A and B are shown apart, each in its own frame.
Chain A
Amino acid sequence: MTTNSDEQRQPLDLAAARQQLREKKGKDYWRSLNELANSPEFEKVIEQEYPRQASLLGTLNRRDFLKVLGASLALAGLTACVPQGSDKILPYVKPPEVLLPGKPVLFASTVLQDGYGQGVLITTTMGRPIKVDGNPKHPATLGGSDVFMQALPLELYDPERLKQVMNQKTAKTWGDFTNALGSLSGNWGQGAGLRILSGMTTSPSLIDQMGALLKKYPQAKWVQFSPVARNNSLAGANLVFGQPYEPVYDFSKADVILSLDCDFLFAEPGHVRYGRDFGVRRQPISANGTMNRLYMIEGSSTMTGSNADHRLAVKPSQIEGFARAIAARLGLAVTAPTGDVAGQPWLDALTADLKSAGKGALVLAGERQPAAVHALAYAINQALGAVGNTVNFIAPVAQGYAGDGYTALKTLAQEMSSGAVDTLVILDSNPAYTAPADLDFVKAMGKVKNVITLANAMDETAVLSSWAIPAAHSMESWGDARAFDGTISIIQPTIEPLYGGKSALELIAALLGQPVARGYDLLRTYWQGQLKGGDFALTWRDLLGKGVIADTASAPIASLPTATLNGMGALPAAASGMEIVFEPDYTVWDGRFTNNAWLQELPKPLSKLTWDNAAYLSPATATKLAITDGDMLILHVGERNMQAAASIQPGQPDDVVVLSLGYGRKEGGSVLANSGFNANLIRTSAAPWFQSGLQVTKGREKYTLATTHEHWTMENRDLVRSTDLEDYKAHPNFAHDGEEQAITLYGQEERTGYAWGMSINLNSCIGCNACVIACQSENNIPTVGKDQVIRGREMHWIRIDRYYKGSANRPRFVYQPVPCMHCEKAPCEVVCPVEATSHSAEGINEMTYNRCVGTRYCANNCPYKVRRFNFYKYVDENVASMRALRNPDVTARSRGVMEKCTYCVQRVNEARIQAEAEGRPIADGEVQTACQVACPTQAIVFGNINDANSTVRKLKDLPLNYGLLADLGTQPRTTYVAQVKNPNPMIKEEA
C-alpha cells in the first residue's frame, strides 16, 4: 500500500455520523468525525498499527526484498566490532563553588510570557540549562508550568537563532553597532524622530531605564504593542471605574464561574495559577468545600470551554447581548436586548446560581470581547459582592500601559509613513509580522532611515531592519519582571549568551551612551537603589536563591468606585452572516514560538492538529458550505482576503470561521517554513479579534493537515468514565459499573519494596499539554516532522486523548492523558524475542534500547498503543547546540529502536541512590515524574503504591479509581480517577 490513500479520501458523511449517533446507547465517546461516522477511512486507520507505515520501503518485489534482507543480515551486529574512540575530559581550572559534576544545579529565575513574569526553576547540568519547571515559591506558577515554559530549552538551543550583529545583511560586531549608534544619536536632539517599539514590558528596571531614555530625549516616544495584549480588559475597567485597572482572579474562592469568552486556563496572564486553583475546586471530594461550577459562553472552541460544566458556542458578537441580559436580571442599570438572546434557556437558572453564590461568584470576560463586556463583567462582580473575594483590581502590571496598544501602533505607523520617524528601536516584538493588515507596517518601515531590532532570529522584522542585534535569551540574561498579580521576580542567566546576545537592558543602556554596560550591573544597581535597609549583598543573594521578591504583589485598589455603566452605549445591532474569529494559538501563541519544533509538533488540545493552523468550522457550517476537511478556502473580510485550509471541528460555533494567530510566517528559520496560514493578513486594528461580514469561497486545491486524533486509538472500548455530581452521589461506584473481574492464568506476585504507580485525575486534567512537552524535554524525545506525523509516527511518550461525547454540534469534551500503563502483566513483554522490554522488581516496564532489534511485536501487542518506534534516525546527533539540549541521564535513541514512557526511571534511580546513600527509604513525593512536575493542576501523581500513606495509594483507594481496559487483565499501574462534572440540574442541555 502507498500513501495514495490520502488522495482517495472519501468526503465525510455527516448524515451517516448523525445516524450513527442516534443508534448509540449509553456512555459513548468518540474522537473524530470519521470515527463517529465509522467511515471506511477510519476503519483503515485502525486496522493498521502505524497508519500508512508500509510505504517505508516503497514497493519491493521478492528478489529485492531478499537482497535487502541478506545485506542486513551480513551487517547485523558488526557495528559493535570496532574499538571505541577515546573522548576527552576537561576538568575545571578552578571549580565553581556549587557544582558537583554529575549532579544537576537548579536556578530560580523567571521567564516571560508577553511581558508577564512566570517564576521558574531551571535545571542545569554541567552548566547547560536543560529543563524549565515552575517555581513553587512563585505565585504565578506554584510549581506548575505551561507548554511555552516547557519548550524554552529548545528555543535557547535553536541553531537558527541570530548569531551576530547584522547591518544591511553584512555581519558586524557590537562594537561596530555602538560606534554607528554614537554618530546616530548625535542627531537625535530632543528625540523627535526617535521611537521605541517593544512588546509588553513589566520589568521595573527596564521601565526605569526607559524613563531615563525618555528624559534624555523628551520628544521620543515608547510604544508597547502585543497582538494579544490585555487591551479590552483594561479598557473595560476604564469604562466602569474611570481607570484602566487590571483584574486578578482568585479561583480558589470561586464557587460559580461564568466565563464570557474567557479562555482563562490558557490565554490570561496567570493562567497557570488559575489552572491550579480551578483544578483544586474541581474535585467531587474537595478538601475545601464544594465543587465549583463553570458556565462558558464562547466564540470558539477553547480549552477552558472544553472543561466547562455548561458550554455554549455562539458567534462572538452575540455574547454582549447575553452579558447584558444577565446584568439586567441582576438589577444593573443596563439596556438589555428586547428579544431572546443566545443562551436564553440558561438565563434564569444561571442568574439564580450567581445570586446564591454571592461573593463566591466570578464573572470574567475574555480579551476577545469588547470593553463593554468586560465592563459588564466587572459591574456584575461588584453587584454580587465578589470584588475583594474572587476578583481584585490592581494598577496595570505593565506599568503605565492603558490598553491602547493598537491605537499606539496605528499612530506610530502613521508617523513612520509620514517620515517623522528617523530611528525606530524594536525590542521583543516582530511587528512586520504581527501588525494588523490595515497598518501596512512593512511599508511604513521602509520610510524609516534607521531601524534597530533586538531579534531572536532573522525574522520578518529583522530582515527589514538596518541593524539586527542578536537578543540574549531569557535564560542567558539578567532582568526582572512582574507577574499577573504584580509580584516581582528576578531573571538570572543560567548560561553565558551562546551567540553574544544582548538583553533589552543592555541595548537601552547603549542608547543612553553606555555601550559596555553589563546587564548584571544595571540590574543590581537598580535594585540596590530600590531595596534599601539591611545588607544589600545578603538581600540580593537571598532573592536570587528564591527567585521572588517577597511581598511585592500589587495591593488591590483600595477604594474602588462603584461601577457605572453609563458609558456603555447601546447594544450594537446584531450582525448577520458569518464571522471570522481569531485566537492566540495553543502551540505557537502569536507566532513567537513558530520556529520551535516541539511546539509545532504538539497536537493542539482540541483539534489535535500539528504543524499548521487551519480554518476551523463547525460540522453544520461545513455542511452548509459543502466543505470537507482539507479544502482550501478563500476567506474574504472587507477588501482583504487570504487562503486557509478547512478543518471541521465539532463544538465550534456555527457560522463562524476560527483562525489562530502565529502561522504563515516567512522568515526566521526552517521549522516555521510552509506551515499554516497568516491570520494577520485579514486582521485589522479596529477589529483584532472578530469581525462580521466574512465571505467564504471554496478553492480548488486540497491541503493535507497532520492531525493525530485518529492515531493510537483504542477502538471504542470503555475508556473514559464520567458522570454528573448528582449521579455520583447516588452511585459512588459508577466507575466500576459493568466491570468484569479479569481471570488470569498467571500467578499473582507479591509486591515487596517499592511498587511504582501513577494516578491521573480526569477531574483535574485541563488538556493543556504541558506534560507532553515536559516529557519531550526530559526524555530527549525527537520531533519527526509533518510528513511523519501524517504517517502516525509522532514520538510523544504521553499523549492526551481528547474525546467528544454527544452530538457533533454540541459535544462534551473529556481529556485523557495516556502514558505507558506499566502493566503488571504486560502484554508487550511476553512477545519480545530479545527481552528488550522487561519488568523491573519495582514494577516498571523497562525498555532497553540497545537490546531492541525493532520487531515492533511489543507495539503490536500493546492494547494502550503507547509504544513509539524510531522509523528513522530522528535524533539530531550532528548539530552541536542540539546535543547540548539533551538530558544526559536519558539515552538518545537511534533508528530502529522502540521506545516509550519509562516512569522517568532516571529520576527513580537517582532518588533510590540518594536515599540508599543516606540510609533511608524514598519519601513520598521524592520521585516526581517530569509530567507530574509540569502539570499545572496536579492531575498526575506518582509514587509508591505499596505505601499505604502515599498520595498515589490514597487516590487509588478511591471508588473513582479505575484502570484502562482493566478487564484485559493487564493490571495497569497507571490508573485514572473518573471524572465527575457539576452541571446545574436546572438546565437541561440539548444533545
Chain B
Amino acid sequence: MPPIFSSRSNTFVRVSIVVGLIAITAIVGYLVWWTHSSTFNQVGVKVPQPVPFPHNFHVAVLGLNCRYCHTGVDKAAFADLPPTETCMSCHSQIATNDPALAPVRDSWKTGKPIAWNKVYQVPDYVYFNHQAHVGKGVACETCHGRVDQMTTAVKANAMYMSFCVDCHRDPAQYVRPRANVYDMGYKPDGDQHKIGEKLVKDYAILPPTQLMNCSICHR
C-alpha cells in the first residue's frame, strides 16, 4: 500500500509549525501593543466636552480646591461633578456673556443638566471608592495626573488593574500626608518610602493581605 502522505508533507508540517509560532507571537504582541496604545486606552486623548472647562485656569490660577466642584470625593464613592448651580455661583457674575459658557447658562435657564462626557471609565465590575482613597492619603494627582496643567481633563493613565494592584501591594510607594492630598506637583519631604511606611501605619492602611482581596474592588 502506498503511503497516504508523500514525503513533501513533512516539510509542509515543519513550515506550518514555524509560521504558526511566528503568527501567534505576532498576534499576542500586537494585542499587547494595541491595548497599551492611546487609541485603545485613550490616555492623553482629549475628550470633547460641551463646555471646554479649563482645569489649569481654575486650579492653577484661581486656586480652587478640587472639592469645590468634586464635592463627594471625601464623602462618598463617587467624586461627583458640579451641578450647574456651582458653575453659576461665579459665572452669574464673571464672564456672563462668554459664548463658551452658553451651555451652562442654558442649563441654568432650562433646568436641563449639562451632559459631560466621562473621562475615566472603569468597568462596571470594579468598585472604586474615592472616599476610601482620599481619606488614606492617596492623592488626586496619583491617579489623575497634573490636572492643574490640563485644559479639558484628559486621562492620565489607563487604569488597568496592574495600576491599582501596584499600589495595593505596597501603598507606601504613593501615600502622602492627608494635608497634601489635593496638592498638585507635590514632592515628598525626604524618602517617599520611609514617609510612606510611617503614613501607612499612622493611617491604619490595611495590609496587602487584605488590600489584595478580590472583594475589596470586585463584588
Chain A residues packing against B (C-beta within 8 Å): 81, 83-84, 86-95, 100-103, 753, 838, 840-842, 844, 846, 848-851, 889-892, 902, 905-906, 909, 913, 916-917, 919
B219 to chain A: closest CB distance in Å? 5
Query: Does A93 lie within 8 Å of B80, measured CB to CB?
Result: no
Query: Does B131 lie within 8 Å of A913, measured CB to CB?
Result: yes
Query: Does B121 lie within 8 Å of A906, measured CB to CB?
Result: no
Please, which residues of chain B bring their CB within 8 A of the CB of A95?
A: 83, 85
B70 to chain A: closest CB distance in Å? 10
Query: Does A93 lie within 8 Å of B84, measured CB to CB?
Result: yes
Stretch in contact with the other chain, from B58-66, B165-173, B208-216:
B208-216
A912 to chain B: closest CB distance in Å? 8
A-B contact pairs, 26 of them (CB 8 A): A81-B31, A83-B40, A86-B117, A86-B121, A87-B117, A88-B115, A89-B115, A90-B116, A92-B85, A93-B85, A93-B111, A100-B75, A100-B80, A102-B77, A102-B78, A840-B210, A840-B216, A841-B213, A849-B125, A849-B218, A850-B123, A891-B219, A902-B215, A913-B129, A913-B131, A916-B136
Query: Does A89 lie within 8 Å of B81, measured CB to CB?
Result: yes
A893's closest neighbor in chain B, by CB?
Answer: B125
Q: Which of A102, A840, A902 counts the most B-chain CB atoms under 10 A from its CB?
A: A102
> In the assembly, what is the distance between CA of A170 and CA of B39, in Å?
51
Query: Does A916 lie within 8 Å of B85, measured CB to CB?
Result: no
B42 within 8 A of A: yes
Cross-interface CB contact of A889 among B116, B118, B127, B213, cutoff 8 Å:
B127
> In the assembly, what is the distance between CA of A175 and CA of B26, in Å?
67
Cross-interface CB contact of A93 among B113, B209, B218, cutoff 8 Å:
B113
- 6 cross-chain pairs, A with B, having the tightest CB-CB distances, nearest first: A102-B78, A102-B76, A846-B215, A840-B213, A90-B113, A92-B83
Query: Given A88-B116, A840-B210, A849-B125, do A917 and B132 touch, yes or no (CB 8 Å)?
Result: yes
Please, which residues of chain B bring their CB within 8 A of the CB of A842?
A: 210, 213
A917's closest neighbor in chain B, by CB?
Answer: B135
Please, which residues of chain B bring their CB within 8 A of the CB of A917?
A: 131-132, 135
Query: Does B116 lie within 8 Å of A91, measured CB to CB?
Result: yes
Cross-interface CB contact of A86 among B34, B47, B114, B125, cutoff 8 Å:
B47
Query: Does A909 lie within 8 Å of B78, measured CB to CB?
Result: no
A189 to chain B: closest CB distance in Å? 46
Please, which residues of chain A bring their CB within 8 A of the CB of B194?
A: none
Query: Given A91-B81, A102-B78, do A905 and B210 touch, yes or no (CB 8 Å)?
Result: no
A733 to chain B: closest CB distance in Å? 36
Please, which residues of chain A bring their CB within 8 A of the CB of B85?
A: 92-95
Query: Given A83-B41, A88-B118, A91-B114, do A909 and B127 touch, yes or no (CB 8 Å)?
Result: yes
B72 within 8 A of A: yes
Known contacts A83-B42, A91-B81, A103-B76, then 20 further A-B pairs from the complex at CB < 8 Å, ordered by chain A residue: A81-B31, A87-B117, A88-B118, A89-B117, A90-B113, A90-B116, A91-B84, A94-B84, A102-B77, A102-B80, A103-B77, A840-B210, A846-B214, A848-B218, A902-B215, A909-B127, A913-B131, A917-B131, A917-B135, A919-B204
Interface membership of chain B positions 54-94, coded 1 if the CB is closer than 8 angstroms to chain A and 0 otherwise: 00000000000000000110011110111111000000000
B108 within 8 A of A: yes
> In the assembly, what is the distance between CA of A906 and CA of B80, in Å?
20
Query: Does A841 lie within 8 Å of B127, measured CB to CB?
Result: no
Please, which residues of chain A bring their CB within 8 A of the CB of B123?
A: 84, 850
B201 within 8 A of A: no
Query: Does A890 lie within 8 Å of B47, measured CB to CB?
Result: no
Cross-interface CB contact of A94 among B41, B77, B83, cutoff 8 Å:
B83
A137 to chain B: closest CB distance in Å? 26
A782 to chain B: closest CB distance in Å? 16
For chain B, residues 104 to 120, give those with C-beta under 8 angstroms from any C-beta of chain A. 107-108, 111-119
Query: Does A916 lie within 8 Å of B204, measured CB to CB?
Result: yes
Query: Given A86-B47, A90-B113, A92-B83, do A909 and B135 touch, yes or no (CB 8 Å)?
Result: no
Please, which residues of chain A bring their CB within 8 A of the CB of B124?
A: 891-892
Chain B residues packing against A (C-beta within 8 Å): 31, 34-35, 39-42, 47, 71-72, 75-78, 80-85, 107-108, 111-119, 121, 123-125, 127, 129, 131-132, 135-136, 204, 207, 209-210, 213-216, 218-219
Query: Does A89 lie within 8 Å of B135, measured CB to CB?
Result: no
Consensus secondary structure, chain A interface: loop
Please, which residues of chain A bring their CB within 8 A of the CB of B215?
A: 840, 844, 846, 848, 902, 905, 909
Q: Which of B34, B72, B125, B215 counts the most A-chain CB atoms under 10 A from its CB?
A: B215
Cross-interface CB contact of B72 among A83, A93, A100, cutoff 8 Å:
A100
Query: Given A91-B81, A95-B85, A913-B131, do A906 and B219 touch, yes or no (CB 8 Å)?
Result: yes
Query: Given A101-B78, A891-B124, do A89 and B210 touch, yes or no (CB 8 Å)?
Result: no
B76's closest neighbor in chain A, by CB?
Answer: A102
Please, which residues of chain B bring their CB within 8 A of the CB of A93?
A: 83-85, 107-108, 111-113
Cross-interface CB contact of B80 among A94, A101, A849, cutoff 8 Å:
A101
Please, which residues of chain A bring their CB within 8 A of the CB of B207?
A: 841
A852 to chain B: closest CB distance in Å? 11
Please, which residues of chain B bring their CB within 8 A of the CB of A92?
A: 83-85, 113
Query: Does A905 lie within 8 Å of B78, measured CB to CB?
Result: no
Query: Does A902 lie within 8 Å of B121, measured CB to CB?
Result: no
A78's closest neighbor in chain B, by CB?
Answer: B31
> In the assembly, what is the distance between CA of A620 and CA of B135, in Å?
67
> In the assembly, what is the distance between CA of A788 and CA of B132, in Å?
41
Query: Does B118 lie within 8 Å of A91, measured CB to CB?
Result: no
Query: Does A91 lie within 8 Å of B210, measured CB to CB?
Result: no
Query: Does A81 lie within 8 Å of B132, measured CB to CB?
Result: no
A726 to chain B: closest CB distance in Å? 45
Query: Given A103-B76, A892-B124, do A90 and B219 touch, yes or no (CB 8 Å)?
Result: no
Query: Does B113 lie within 8 Å of A905, measured CB to CB?
Result: no
Please, which residues of chain B bring their CB within 8 A of the CB of A892?
A: 124
Query: Given A89-B118, A91-B116, A102-B72, do A841 and B209 touch, yes or no (CB 8 Å)?
Result: yes
Query: Does A84 lie within 8 Å of B121, measured CB to CB?
Result: yes
B53 to chain A: closest CB distance in Å? 12
Query: Does B219 lie within 8 Å of A909, measured CB to CB?
Result: yes
Please, which residues of chain A bring their CB within 8 A of the CB of B41?
A: 83
A849 to chain B: closest CB distance in Å? 6
Please, which residues of chain B bring their CB within 8 A of the CB of A889?
A: 127, 219
Please, which residues of chain B bring their CB within 8 A of the CB of A846?
A: 213-215, 218-219
> In the assembly, what is the distance between CA of A906 and CA of B108, in Å?
36
Please, which residues of chain A bring their CB within 8 A of the CB of B121?
A: 84, 86-87
A560 to chain B: closest CB distance in Å? 55
> In the assembly, what is the distance between CA of A86 and CA of B153, in Å?
14
Query: Does A916 lie within 8 Å of B132, measured CB to CB?
Result: yes
Cross-interface CB contact of A91 among B80, B125, B127, cutoff 8 Å:
B80
> In the assembly, what is the distance between CA of A83 and CA of B76, in Å?
28
> In the assembly, what is the distance between CA of A83 and CA of B78, in Å?
23
A61 to chain B: closest CB distance in Å? 24
> In the assembly, what is the distance between CA of A841 and CA of B75, in Å?
25
B123 to chain A: closest CB distance in Å? 7
> In the assembly, what is the distance between CA of A94 and CA of B218, in Å?
33
Query: Does B125 lie within 8 Å of A891, measured CB to CB?
Result: yes
> In the assembly, what is the distance between CA of A126 and CA of B110, in Å?
21
> In the assembly, what is the distance between CA of A89 and CA of B116, in Å?
5
> In the assembly, what is the distance between CA of A841 and CA of B209, in Å?
7
> In the assembly, what is the distance between CA of A841 and CA of B207, in Å?
10
A481 to chain B: closest CB distance in Å? 34
Please, which residues of chain A bring their CB within 8 A of the CB of B219?
A: 846, 889-891, 902, 905-906, 909
Query: Does A81 lie within 8 Å of B34, measured CB to CB?
Result: yes
B119 to chain A: closest CB distance in Å? 8
Query: Does B72 lie within 8 Å of A91, measured CB to CB?
Result: no
Please, which residues of chain B bring their CB within 8 A of the CB of A838?
A: 213-214
> In the assembly, what is the distance between CA of A87 and CA of B40, in Å?
16
B84's closest neighbor in chain A, by CB?
Answer: A93
> In the assembly, what is the distance between CA of A496 and CA of B85, in Å?
23
B216's closest neighbor in chain A, by CB?
Answer: A909
> In the assembly, what is the distance between CA of A218 and CA of B207, in Å?
76
Please, which residues of chain B bring their CB within 8 A of the CB of A103?
A: 75-77
> In the assembly, what is the distance between CA of A890 and CA of B218, in Å?
9
B131 to chain A: closest CB distance in Å? 6
